[in-house]
Amino acid sequence: MRNDLSATLTQREAIIAACRVMNRNGLNQGTSGNISMRQGEGMLITPTSLPYDTMEPDDIVWMGFDGSVSGKRQASSEWRFHLDILRAKPDVNAVVHAHPTACTTVAIMEKSIPPLHYMIAICGGHDIRCAPYATFGTSELSENALAALEDRSACLLAHHGMIATGRTLDRAMWLAVEVETLARQYLGCLPFGEPPLLSVEEIQNVISRMANYGHAS
Ligand code: 13P
């Protein structure tokens, strides 16, 4: 049976469950990270600085694409890039932002993840770009993230963390774990030097094959 959290839980409950999973599975720590889901003409997003273990459904904040806000809490400090990504990418319904250690280590080095493994193709191209640094919560960070996400479903944020997106929250969470795995593999290679890479053509070939396999987004 497919483990589709969002099918059985309300969107608010699904967001909280995903936050707890990402902290439990080591993808994130403390109150870092934030998750949003498209809802109508806006999004539901985690509140800022609230521990996930005590978060309740009515702590989740609703923000409209028109700038309207409703909720008893203040929205995540990263609401800008969540809103801008959901507005710019109609096929994306969930955005996961976390500070996973391997992704963040690569991002601290201001490196993109190159095509070292064929699974890089799940992000839509031959690399996972690292967006240039900008202060958290700023429109500059949002612009940098959107540029890094062009034709890609995930990116790194320099000196900060990563963003994974998906048609569903389950897909975005799955992608976040896969991107962290690729980052870990990259870090594992680097002591031997820069790894040999697959070609851009081969990654395009893998993307075509994946369309018939189940990894397509
Ligand atoms: P929030 O607690 O405001 O969501 O911020 C956490 C974070 O990861 C900022 O990048």
Kindly give the number of the ligand 1 atom that is closest to the alpha carbon of 136: 10
* CA–centroid distance, residue 120 to ligand 1 (Å): 26
What does the pLDDT read at residue 1?
A: 34
What does the pLDDT read at residue 51?
A: 97
Please, are residues 155 and 130 in contact by the beta-carbon 8 Å criterion?
Answer: yes
Helix/strand/coil percentages in the chain, nearest 5: 45, 15, 40
Confidence band, pLDDT 50/70/90 cuts, at residue 212: confident
- Mean pLDDT value of segment 112-136: 98
Burial bucket for residue 199 (CB in 10 Å: 0-12, 13-18, 19+): exposed
Cβ-based neighbour number of residue 151 at 10 Å: 8
- Percentage of the chain beyond pLDDT 90 is 92
Q: What secondary structure letter does DSSP report for 76? A: -
* CA–centroid distance, residue 99 to ligand 1 (Å): 10
Task: Determine the 3-state secondary structure of 190 from DSSP.
Answer: helix
Of 7, 37, 35, the C-alpha closest to 20 is: 35
Q: In testing the pocket of ligand 1, which one of 43, 49, 76, 103 has its CB within 8 Å of the most ligand atoms? A: 76
Residues near ligand 1 (Cβ within 6 A): 31-34, 46, 48-49, 76-78, 136
Please, are residues 129 and 79 in contact by the beta-carbon 8 Å criterion?
Answer: no
pTM as predicted: 0.95
Beta bridge partners of 189: none
What does the pLDDT read at residue 3?
A: 42
- Mean pLDDT value of segment 167-174: 97
pLDDT tens, 74-110?
999 999 999 999 999 999 999 999 999 999 999 999 9
Confidence band, pLDDT 50/70/90 cuts, at residue 123: very high
- Mean pLDDT value of segment 191-203: 97
* CA–centroid distance, residue 51 to ligand 1 (Å): 11
**Which of 87-96, 120-129, 205-214 is predicted with the least confidence, judged by mean pLDDT?**
205-214
* CATH class of the region 5-209: alpha beta
* CB contact set of 6 (below 8 Å; sequence gap of 6+): 14, 37, 168, 169, 170
- Percentage of the chain beyond pLDDT 70 is 94
Q: Tell me the catalytic residues.
A: 78
Distance CA 202, CA 184 (A): 22
Residue 5 has pLDDT above 70, yes or no: no
Provide the mean pLDDT of the chain: 94
What does the pLDDT read at residue 215?
A: 67
Distance CA 105, CA 143 (A): 22
pLDDT tens, 44-69?
999 999 999 999 999 999 999 998 99
Distance CA 161, CA 115 (A): 19
Distance CA 106, CA 184 (A): 9
